[in-house]
């Protein structure tokens, strides 16, 4: 599947809902961005199962790092 997106201010783009749903990306997920042969590749980091109560383990996002 291919879709076109527009790069906005500060390089921001929006991943369309259909793509997010297809690969299981949810708000707050961390993505790894790499460049391979001149192509931008975004991959969601796969999280281990959430502990009881549905809360993420403390520091799972790398404390002190800004995630947008």
Q: What is the pLDDT of residues 39-64, one digit of tens each?
A: 999 999 876 544 444 444 444 444 44
Q: What does the pLDDT read at residue 12?
A: 94
Q: What does the pLDDT read at residue 54?
A: 47
- Higher-pLDDT residue of 40 and 66 is 40
Q: What are phi and psi of 53, to 5 degrees?
A: 95, -10
Residue 18 is encoded by which pair of tokens?
A: 């259909």
Q: What is the pLDDT of residues 8-23, one digit of tens each?
A: 999 999 999 999 999 9
Q: Do 27 and 64 meet the contact criterion of CB atoms below 8 Å apart?
A: no
Q: What does the pLDDT read at residue 47?
A: 64
Question: How far apart are the C-alpha atoms of 6 and 13, rounded to whole Å?
Answer: 6
């Amino acid at each position: 599947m291919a879709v076109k997106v527009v790069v906005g201010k500060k390089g921001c783009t929006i991943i369309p809902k259909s793509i997010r749903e297809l690969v299981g990306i949810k708000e707050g997920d961390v993505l790894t961005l790499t460049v391979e042969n001149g192509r931008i590749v975004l991959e969601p980091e796969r999280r281990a199962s959430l502990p009881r109560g549905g809360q993420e383990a403390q520091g799972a996002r790398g404390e002190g790092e800004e995630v947008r």
